[in-house]
Amino acid sequence: SFELTQTHSSVSVALGQTATITCEADRIGSKNVQWYQQKPAQAPILIMYWDSRRPSGIPERFSGSNSGQMATLTISGAQAGDEADYYCQVWDFTTVIFGGGTKLTVL
């Protein structure tokens, strides 16, 4: 079965610097990847769809890419408010798969 691996369970970034969160799977580049942000005690929110499209209201500092075996979420100029858990997600035939999550800490 298809599995998504977020290799780094936690990532730290200095305020204003760039954070990169990855999601790996065999042939993930052939799928559309979504990313969700979840802050403590809140529901997840969609921050990226179709690999690199931002929903309305999501800041431009969030960007995404997907190729080969890896999808990437990049946060340029990380803000304190970006501290959260981030999950990747794909649709595989008749099931939805989430990655295990990456906790972003902004120092």
Partner 1 sequence: EVQLLESGGGVVQPGGSLRLSCAASGFNFGDDVMSWVRQAPGKGPQWVSAISGGGEKRYYADSVKGRFTISRDNSKSTLYLEMHSLRAEDTAVYYCAKVNTLNSFFFDYWGHGTLVTVSS
Binding site for partner 1 (CB under 8 A): 31-32, 34, 36, 42-46, 49-50, 55, 85, 87, 89-91, 94-101
Q: Least Å distance between CB 78 and partner 1?
A: 21
Q: Least Å distance between CB 77 and partner 1?
A: 25
What one-letter code names the amino acid at 105?
Answer: T
Q: Which is nearer to partner 1, 49 or 77 (CB)?
A: 49
Q: Least Å distance between CB 21 and partner 1?
A: 13
Residue (of 65, 64, 102) closest to 84 by Cα position:
102
Q: Which is nearer to partner 1, 61 or 103 (CB)?
A: 103
Residue (of 21, 2, 3) closest to 102 by Cα position:
21
Tell the burial category of 75 from Cβ atoms under 10 Å away from its Cβ (0-12, 13-18, 19+).
buried
